[in-house]
Structure 1
Amino acid sequence: MKEEQWAPVMVMLMSSVAMGSVNALVKKALDVGVNHMIFGAYRMVISAIILVPFCYIWERKTRPKITFMLLCEHFISGLLGASLMQFFFLLGLSYTSATVSMALVSMLPAITFALALIFRIENVKNLKSKAGVLKLIGTLICIIGAMFLTFYKGPQISNPHSHPESLHDKNTLHGHDQAKRWLLGCLYLVIGTILLSLWMLFQGKLSAKYPGNKYSSTCLMSLFAAFQCAILSLYKSREVEAWIIEEKFVIFVILYAGIVGQAMSTVVASWSIKMTGAVFVSTFSPVSLVSATLFDFIILHSPLYLGSILGSVVTITGLYVFLWGRKSETDDQSVPKTLETSKFSQKMENEDHITVNDNNTKLPV
């Protein structure tokens, strides 16, 4: 593999590991008791501030004129991909674990494919092909994995004595209440993932309208999302004191999540998609899952359950079956283009040969 081909691999590996750590740290910060939408608002503000220099340096000449329609479209983008998505995702994360959250996010390609079928962005006739069948099977396996994660927590496979906070949870919450919170948390995470899929479909059309302005678009989306998160935070707390965060760990996590989890991850993903394609980038989501599990268990000392491990394995299996189908579809599409190119080259060679023969006949004997 050439050096320029290794660059996206290394960058996506580091980004995926970082995203796993972000979710693990955010889970720990939410356990402190901070309002999850206030957390989201701060995260969006930091993301916008970080992206402003990139917008000015690289996109000041190509940035489109700010119109009412442009603002409306980015308002919807912020609603789907940031504020509402974070509302459900962070709430679900506070009820479950970083491992479960990243496992359900690993369903993103399959959910996006299913929604594309519903909205007829994806052609239903393609399901009869080998690639279509593989994508459909992969989607179903991902759904089974998500149901496994949701309805089966299983026994704790880590040493309970090494996780005193899990013992505290068992003493403060009854088994029924714990199961109810886990079920609700998984439901919220699935809703958050569906919203993220809808955002990806919407963002695809938005990017086509405003190509080459990913920093400005993300910055504008983050600004709208910050205001939306602030409004959504009122459902839980309307006191001004809730916005004052004194816990140093929570402040660090907000900064880390805003810079690494929102701004940098968006830039890295956009660059990698431009270099290698969206399918390549989506294959790294299981790396975030493994990273979140390791951070959860080794560094943050969170308990590890059998259901999380088995459900994650099933989800990852479904993801790669789905991606196998995407690869087959790409290969099938490239074959006609190759044949067309070869036919065109052969035609040009034949025309050149005829021209040479015509010139030879005109030469005197």
Structure 2
Amino acid sequence: MAGWYCYRDVLPFTAMVTMECTNVGLNTLFKAATLSGMSYHVFVVYAYALAAIVLLPAPFISQRSRVLPPLNFSILSKIVLLGVIGSSSQIMGYTGINFSSPTLASAISNLVPAFTFILAIIFRMEKIVLRSTSTSAKILGTLLSISGAFVVTLYKGPVIYIAHPSSVSLQQPLNSLNSRWVIGGLLLTGEYILVPLWYIVQAQIMKEYPNELTVIFFYNLTVSIIAAVVGLITEKDPNAWRLGPNIALVSVVCSGLFGSFMNNTVHTWALHLKGPVYVAMFKPLSIAIAVAMGVMFLGDTLHLGSLVGATIISIGFYTVMWGKRKEKGEDDRVESRESTSTNQKVPLLQSYKTGKDIEQM
């Protein structure tokens, strides 16, 4: 029992907290690499290609160690679709971080539960019960999250903290900064609209082919191929594809191993074990980490708009989570009542069978 509890509850919790901290660190490292001149298109290609190389033995090992269904055209086509969604999401996300900051990315990532709820309604995966407390909470939380995203994207507000005051005069003009911030926010919002789609397709794939490492190998391979095609079109300078012993190389290696490989594997495993709602629960944790790391390592300036918007998004996030928990409690009570009404009819039959068994003995 203790081992099962650790596997079902303690291990997923520890893994998800670790991955959120890792993701913020990787975003911060990526921002530092792009500030040194690295192309984000090249970054995506190398990071996912490295993860695919690391996972190359996975399909052969999994087929020998486990009884799995064949990788037919239907499963592979869904993995390719997953790769299209993932590559689009990653390119939009890294472009958004390049235009803004890891702090904004972490704040807007809390829109995932709201977008998941909206898409679940569209795909009829979520039920709407009128006059239900849980439904009202989820709708209110969704509206709050979207409102917070508008605040953090469109309103920077006064400066709360400046990491390096002496560098303020060297920054770009205010209007230029604001326009870049808005573009970055819109791109990051687009990324986190695609993430719930990734969850939905991934959950369907895992039902048909329940092997995380093999699925992630083909996913990383697909993303690296798509990103390479896009990169060859957008990056005309051959020197952009060269990596030297600098922060860019460190960022690619760390993102390939701890992001594209480990992070995707852990998220797929947690998604399979606990579901997308559980995976989304840990998003607000990244805001505080991103703010601290951005200020300490990137010299980011902390604005009031980021703080207020992130707070609104977090309130909306936990409102959606509370609604989901309330809904689960309502479903459990309905199942309990149905089970009780069934059991009330059983004792006579059970006693009859028990008495008959005793006579036979």
Alignment pair present for 1:199 and 2:198: yes
User: Which secondary structure state, in structure 2, belongs to the residue aligned with residue 157 of structure 1?
Assistant: strand
1:299 corresponds in structure 2 to 297
User: Relative to structure 2, which stretch is displaced further, 62-71 or 176-185?
Assistant: 62-71
> What does residue range 70-89 of structure 1 map to in structure 2 within 5 Å?
70-81=75-86, 83-89=87-93
Q: 1 CA distance for matches of 2:279 and 2:124?
A: 24
Q: 2 CA distance for matches of 1:356 and 1:327?
A: 40
Alignment pair present for 1:131 and 2:131: no
Unaligned runs of 5+ in 1: none
Tell whether the 8 Å contact from 1:47 to 1:259 is kept in structure 2 after alignment.
yes
2:14 corresponds in structure 1 to 10
TM-score, with normalisation over the residues of structure 2?
Answer: 0.90
Q: 2 CA distance for matches of 1:165 and 1:219?
A: 43
2:126 corresponds in structure 1 to 122
Q: 1 CA distance for matches of 2:71 and 2:299?
A: 48
1:106 corresponds in structure 2 to 110
Q: 2 CA distance for matches of 1:108 and 1:241?
A: 36
Q: 2 CA distance for matches of 1:272 and 1:294?
A: 27
Q: How far apart are 1:309 and its partner, in Å?
A: 1.2
1:27 corresponds in structure 2 to 31
Q: 1 CA distance for matches of 2:183 and 2:167?
A: 21
1:188 corresponds in structure 2 to 187
User: Relative to structure 2, which stretch is displaced further, 70-79 or 178-187?
Assistant: 70-79
Q: 1 CA distance for matches of 2:59 and 2:331?
A: 36
Q: 2 CA distance for matches of 1:99 and 1:117?
A: 29
Q: State the one-letter code of the partner of 2:70.
A: K
Of 212, 215, 228, 1:214 maps to: 212
Alignment pair present for 1:179 and 2:178: yes
Alignment pair present for 1:241 and 2:239: yes
Q: CA RMSD in A?
A: 2.4
User: Which secondary structure state, in structure 2, belongs to the residue aligned with residue 106 of structure 1?
Assistant: helix
Q: State the one-letter code of the partner of 2:140.
A: I
Q: State the one-letter code of the partner of 1:76.
A: L
User: Which secondary structure state, in structure 2, belongs to the residue aligned with residue 201 of structure 1?
Assistant: helix
1:45 corresponds in structure 2 to 49
Q: How far apart are 1:235 and its partner, in Å?
A: 4.3
Q: 2 CA distance for matches of 1:20 and 1:116?
A: 27
Q: 1 CA distance for matches of 2:52 and 2:202?
A: 18
Q: Percent same amino acid at aligned positions?
A: 27
Q: 1:78 to 1:164 in 2, by over 3 A?
A: farther
Q: 1:353 to 1:40 in 2, by over 3 A?
A: same
User: Which secondary structure state, in structure 2, belongs to the residue aligned with residue 158 of structure 1?
Assistant: strand
Tell whether the 8 Å contact from 1:24 to 1:295 is kept in structure 2 after alignment.
yes
Q: State the one-letter code of the partner of 2:148.
A: G
TM-score, with normalisation over the residues of structure 1?
Answer: 0.89
Q: What is the number of residues matched between the two proteins? A: 355
